[in-house]
Amino acid sequence: MIGRLNHIAIAVPDLEAAAAQYRDTLGAAVGQPQDEPDHGVTVIFIQLPNTKLELLYPLGDDSPIRGFLEKNPSGGIHHMCFEVDDILAARDRLKSEGARVLGSGEPKIGAHGKPVLFLHPKDFNGCLIELEQI
Amino acid sequence: MIGRLNHIAIAVPDLEAAAAQYRDTLGAAVGQPQDEPDHGVTVIFIQLPNTKLELLYPLGDDSPIRGFLEKNPSGGIHHMCFEVDDILAARDRLKSEGARVLGSGEPKIGAHGKPVLFLHPKDFNGCLIELEQI
């Protein structure tokens, strides 16, 4: 069911410093910051040859990553995103296996303009998993 | 400098349950457990179309992931591994930029039989980064 790893998302306490580090120290292809007000984050994409990293920084008071950064002040890997062909079929299969889908269970439009869902980390070895329909 | 994402490593509290979940619930291509006594882990590789996941379970009393699982009993993302062409050149560039390389600073032979180094998570937004020479 799951396909490609679309991205790894990393919450960072200092977006400019993290971008400079990936660009200058690690020599990666680092994009420009993009505000995503609907998702409460400012994002910088880092393109690797086979997948992407996404640096996340809180935007607004209700940012979903603010709590994560309070618990992890240095930052950390926030989630990983797998691609699926049919997000509703994926959701129904997961629910029938007892996995919890976060929120209402209805896909939302994610930062890439495509339908996404998040799965409960307690059901997946402590890892927050995003599914994105491609 | 960094190239492909070679893998994401996930420490899990129950290797069989995690493997069954990725195989049956998430529908991924899950391999057989491999003991890596030199690294203190039993590993299961999960092949995605563009990269790999590695499920890690402690092997032996000195396993480097035992402490991680004590702090994170549900499991969690332990590290991510980027490929580099020349690990000594990468190490020297990183050190000259002030990043800390874990251990002696000399590459060890990793679980894939290739030279690897780990970078200090405090220097990289709370993320443990492995570099592997390909």
Q: How far is B32 from chain A (nearest CA, A)?
A: 18
Q: Which of B50, B70, B49, B55 is nearest to B21 (CA)?
A: B55
CATH architecture of A5-133: Roll (3.10)
Q: What is the 3-state secondary structure (H, E, C) of B14-52?
A: CHHHHHHHHHHHCCCEECCCEEECCCCEEEEEEECCCCE
pLDDT at A111: 81
Tokens standing for A11?
Answer: 């919450």
B110 pLDDT higher than 90: no
Does the annotation count A70 as an active-site position? no
Structural contact between residues B75 and A125, judged by C-beta atoms closer than 8 angstroms = yes
- Exposed/middle/buried for residue B13 (C-beta within 10 Å: 0-12, 13-18, 19+): middle
pLDDT at B94: 95
CB contact under 8 A, A126 and B75: yes
B116 pLDDT higher than 90: yes
Q: How many helices (H) and strands (E) does chain B have?
A: 3, 9
The reply to whether A13 touches chain B by the CB within 8 Å rule is: yes
Mean pLDDT throughout B79-102?
96
Q: Contacts of residue A127 in chain B, CB cutoff 8 Å?
A: 10, 75-77
pLDDT at A96: 95
Q: Is the dihedral of CA B21, A100, A117, B55 positive or negative?
A: negative
Taking the C-alpha atoms of residue A75 and residue A78, their distance in angstroms, rounded to an integer, is 8
Low-confidence ranges of chain A (pLDDT < 70): none
The reply to whether A134 touches chain B by the CB within 8 Å rule is: no
Q: Which of B122, B8, B89, B5 is nearest to A17 (CA)?
A: B122
**Pick from B1, B13, B74: CB nearest A27:** B1
CB contact under 8 A, A2 and B26: yes
How many CB atoms are closer than 10 A to CB A80?
21
Q: How far is B67 from chain A (nearest CA, A)?
A: 15
Reported as type and span, the H/E element at residue B89 is helix B87-96
CB contact under 8 A, B48 and A13: no
* Active-site residue, from A54, A70, A97, A130: A130
pLDDT at A110: 86
Tens digit of each residue's pLDDT (9 = 90 or more) over A62-80? 999 999 999 999 999 999 9
Tens digit of each residue's pLDDT (9 = 90 or more) over B44-64? 999 999 999 999 999 998 999
CB contact under 8 A, A74 and B125: yes
pLDDT at A112: 84
Higher-confidence residue of B41 and A38: namely B41
Nearest CA in chain B to A55: B125
Number of residue pairs across A and B with CB atoms under 8 Å? 107
What is the percentage of chain B residues whose pLDDT exceeds 70? Answer: 100
The reply to whether A75 touches chain B by the CB within 8 Å rule is: yes
Instruction: Give me the DSSP letters along A63-119.
Output: -TTHHHHHH-TT-EEEEEEEEES-HHHHHHHHHHTTPPBSTTSS-EE-TTSSEEEEE
| Average confidence score pLDDT of chain B | 96
Mean pLDDT throughout B85-107?
95
> What b/e sequence results for A64-78 when a residue is b if at least 16 CB atoms lie within 10 Å of its CB, and e otherwise?
ebeebbeebeebbbb
Tens digit of each residue's pLDDT (9 = 90 or more) over A120-131? 999 999 999 999
Using alpha carbons, list the distances in angstroms from residue A82 to A33, A48, A90: 23, 16, 11
- Domain borders along chain A are 5-133
Q: Which residues pair with A34 in a beta bridge?
A: A43
B28 pLDDT higher than 90: yes
Strands B52-58 and A108-109: unpaired
B111 pLDDT higher than 90: no
